[in-house]
Each structure stands twice: as structure tokens, then as C-alpha cells.
Amino acid sequence: MEIEKLKGIIEAILFTMGDSVELEKIAAAIEHDEDTTRRIIHNMMDCYEEENRGVRIIELDNSFQMCTKKEDYEYLIRIAKQPKRYALTDVLLETLSIIAYKQPVTKLEIEKIRGVKSDHAVNKLVEYGLAEEAGRLEAPGRPLLFKTTEEFLRRFGVQSLDELPSLNEEQIEHFKEEAEDEVQLKLDI
């Protein structure tokens, strides 16, 4: 196998693993002896330095690891400080709407409405700052209650929950019929 192909394989291994990888494992993966493997990796290390790349390969007690050059940390920090953009999937929007209209609400109540486990969805909404814990229900097990946050109001452009659209009785009946039809279809299968 040509040397450039081996370098690519080693680079892929170190990048993917993230942590340090023992020389013997790298050598076994590329099917070469440890001395040859070490020479290839040291050649890669020199090339990275000469080309002033943003990453480098370091040697740690007979292991190798790919990492960022410390001179570039300030740029990484700038990116890390930027707020993350997140996507609200249909599942998250459905769960968020239940919390918004039924708050304060427990996960069990959300799951009864949705018909499926909702731990992940509720946890994501809390992580995104759109929902938060609102105390505990005075019931056996004292389950957590959830409500929407000020961030929820900001993101959806409303000043209060009173501004959320309300459903008329005709829409509610239509939704009930759809749900009953869906349940019946599942029972017939």
C-alpha cells in the first residue's frame, strides 16, 4: 500500500478516535510493524508543522493523538461562545405545545396526550431553555411539573401565554375524531 494511503488511514483513525491510540493498534490496523508506523506518523507530524495546520499529532507514552494547536484555542473559544442554533422537530413542537397549553404539567400527563414516552423531548426542551421545572405535584412519587420559560415567549413572539392561539370547539372535535380513527386503525391491525 502506498505511503499516502497509509497516512490517510492513520489520520482517519486518530481523528475518529479522538483520544490517544496506542502505536501497536495503529500498526496492526495498517498491517505494518511498529517502527515503520512510528516513522510514518512522525513524518505526518513534521508535515503538519511545516504546513502550519490547525491540528497536530502528539505522542503520549507510545500512543498518538490528533489535537488542536494551542495557538488556535482563542478562535475555538469564539465559536464555542456563540449560541447554538437548534431545530425544533415535530416531536419537540408537539411536546412544547402540550406544555404551553397544559402547564404546569407532568411528563406522565404529556405521555398520556402524546401516547408515547416523552423523556427525551422534555429534556431537549429544558436543554434549549424553552421549558423548565415548575416544582412537584402533590401526589404519590411527587412527579416534576414543567412549564414554558421567558425564552419560549421570546422565541415565539408573544408577551404572555394569553396570546397563544386558542382552538375552537369544532377544531377540538375534529382532533378527537382523528385520534379515535387512528386508535381504531391500530386496533384493527
Mean pLDDT over 16-42 rounds to 92
Nearest by Cα to 38 from 24, 19, 54: 24
d(CA 52, CA 17): 23
Clarify whether residues 18 and 97 are in a common domain: no
Pair 12, 57 in one domain: yes
The CATH number of residue 22's host domain is 1.10.10.10
Are the CB atoms for 59 and 22 separated by under 8 Å?
Answer: no
Strand, helix or coil at 158?
Answer: coil
Share of the chain above pLDDT 70, in %: 92
Considering its fold, how many domains does the chain have in total? Answer: 2
- Round to whole Å and give the CA distance between 65 and 133: 41
Tens digit of each residue's pLDDT (9 = 90 or more) over 107-148? 999 998 888 899 999 999 999 999 999 999 888 889 999 999
Residues 103 and 180 in one domain: yes
pLDDT of residue 175 exceeding 70: no
Crossing angle of helices 90-102/119-127, nearest 10°? 80
pLDDT > 70? residue 186: no
144-148/55-60 β-pairing? unpaired
Range of the domain at 102: 90-188
